[in-house]
Amino acid sequence: MNQNQKYLSKVYPDAKSALTGIKDNMTVLVGGFGLCGIPENLIVAMRDSGVKNLTCVSNNAGVADWGLGLLLQTKQIKKMVSSYVGENPLFEKQYMNGELEVEFAPQGTLAERLRAGGAGIPGFYTPTGVGTLVAEGKELKDFDGRTFVLERGITGDFALVKAWKGDHYGNLIFRKTARNFNPMIATAGKITIAEVEELVEVGELDPDQIHTPGIYIQRIIQGTDYQKRIEQRTVRT
């Protein structure tokens, strides 16, 4: 690596140092779908940091003892903006007890709200949810004889994503279904932190294979000790 590359390197030594600046009451966007493609090391470090009253935006809240479920255990999350939370009984318990505020969004709408936020688009109209609880209290507008509901773009103070490979500039490659929400979330944070399974030097990634350009990434770490968990394991008898 030459001197110019060293100067531009966004690499942090560990997850704890990469989370410098995270505070109570912030909005944190977290990539992943179920337990696939979640930033495991960053979630654990966020739990250990002790920050509280967080608003977390993620497709789901992990399971009771992994993923964002770790932050539910310690009651560091005050609000979840999610699409699906059926795998986490702790989430259900806290919600039913009034300890956790929840904002549900249809899965495609949630993805587009994140993409819009990252693109600087404050809102968009969609037909999804019209006539249901999803549309209550939101602006409705007709286009060509069909009713649409206004949804707001989402941005966060921090965005945490997980990638397969990344370089010192923050260029990222995701692997198969682990890509899921990560590319949209990577664009929507004021500070986006990526953890990667493999950290390489600048120039080693094929430019045509990069999913998220480094311009969106402020910090990057090499993750360790990844767990291959499955929410519900089903096998033949």
What confidence tens digit (pLDDT) does each residue in 97-130 have? 999 999 999 999 999 999 999 999 999 999 999 9
Share of the chain above pLDDT 90, in %: 89
Is residue 57's pLDDT more than 80?
yes
pLDDT of residue 227: 84
What confidence tens digit (pLDDT) does each residue in 167-220 have? 999 999 999 999 999 999 999 999 999 999 999 999 999 999 999 999 999 999
Share of the chain above pLDDT 70, in %: 97
Is residue 5's pLDDT more than 60?
no
Quote the CA–CA distance of 129 and 88 in Å, as a whole number. 24
pLDDT of residue 228: 82
The structural domains of the chain, ordered by start, are 14-120+153-222 (3.40.1080.10)
140: β partners: 149
> Are 59 and 84 in contact, with CB atoms under 8 Å apart?
yes
Beta strands in the chain (DSSP E): 27-30, 54-57, 77-82, 101-104, 123-126, 140-143, 146-152, 156-167, 172-173, 189-200, 219-222
Is residue 142's pLDDT more than 70?
yes
pLDDT class for 48, splitting at 50, 70, 90? very high
pLDDT of residue 55: 98
146: β partners: 143
Is residue 4's pLDDT more than 70?
no
